[in-house]
Amino acid sequence: MAISEGGLLTDEIRRKVWPKLLNVNTNDPPPISGNDLRQMSKDYQQVLLDVRRSLRRFPPGMPEEQREGLQEELIDIILLILERNPQLHYYQGYHDIVVTFLLVVGEKLATSLVEKLSTHHLRDFMDPTMDNTKHILNYLMPIIDQVNPELHDFMQSAEVGTIFALSWLITWFGHVLSDFRHVVRLYDFFLACHPLMPIYFAAVIVLYREQEVLDCDCDMASVHHLLSQIPQDLPYETLISRAGDLFVQFPPSELAREAAAQQQAEKTAASTFKDFELASAQQRPDMVLRQRFRGLLRPEERTKDVLTKPRTNRFVKLAVMGLTVALGAAALAVVKSALEWAPKFQLQLFP
């Protein structure tokens, strides 16, 4: 449902499904702290400023007293997660993700869900530096180049870079979309897919706006100004479907070498992850995407587009995908050569 047209449809369904997508047991007691986090946290002042500026993230017409209460809960959730996970570093935009969960599932469940999300999908954004975040942004242009080389070359000539997509990526588009329905629809999709899916979605937005971009003056200022303003009337379901198809056609393992060209593999967050419990939960939706994409192709197209590349045991590919999910998105650079050692890996996993 999460990757199909319309997504999970209602917040009532999301309250049941989002925990399953993140492998969170709703029967477990929510995390608590006996400390005065507002006095102790080094991030409190920045979190407070960001939350105070988040008025537009709350539903229009919400009573002021209710909104202020939710803002206090938002601060508490963020500070608690940071206290429990000292390896995580707060970044501006994190509150845009947390508030989405707060509004959908409430404070207690939001704390558990966002904590799991922060140590998996968002892990690379919460490093002390932006190195891994920039690395993930480096996947944007290779995706565009695979689909539309002309657009890619124009953007390269304009030297626009990828910084226009930074807020899209680190807030899962929560900061830039005004309609909350569109935000939670995207969260349905992202939670059910690979951690790099938001960058694929960013790519399809740029591809969708191809003509607008090509009509711009070929300079950084013009193209950046255009792309940094996301239209609010995008055909979201079409773009979601397209992002899923591109992920199947051009999986991260095929793009990793180009994306990692400016970043050494040893600088990724790979060594900080040991939790593989999300692997199985994340593999199934990606399999559905593959099946859906193949179903859209005629037999001769299916042979041409899907089977022309070297074939490796499907279980090995899924195992590699599971590893990259658990390690963090930027760790894809570390396993970019995984398929080259697939036979040995296969013998170890599937004797």
At residue 191 the predicted structure's pLDDT band, cuts being 50, 70 and 90, is: very high
Alpha-carbon gap, residue 94 to 122, rounded angstroms: 9
Contacts of 181 (CB under 8 A, 6+ apart): none
Q: Among candidates 156, 152, 161, 187, which has minimal Cα distance to 173? A: 187
Q: For residue range 292-312, list pLDDT tens digits in order.
A: 656 665 544 443 443 333 334
Across 209-221, b (16+ Cβ under 10 Å) vs e yields beeebeebeeebe
Comparing CA positions, the residue from 293, 172, 171 lying closest to residue 244 is: 293
> What pLDDT does residue 28 have?
81
**pTM listed for this prediction:** 0.76
Query: CB under 8 Å to 75, separation ≥6 — which residues?
Result: 38, 44, 47, 48, 51
For residue 14, give the nearest of 108, 76, 93, 106 by alpha carbon.
106
Q: Which domains does the chain carry?
A: 11-122 (1.10.8.1310), 130-271 (1.10.472.80)
Give the per-residue pLDDT at 149: 95
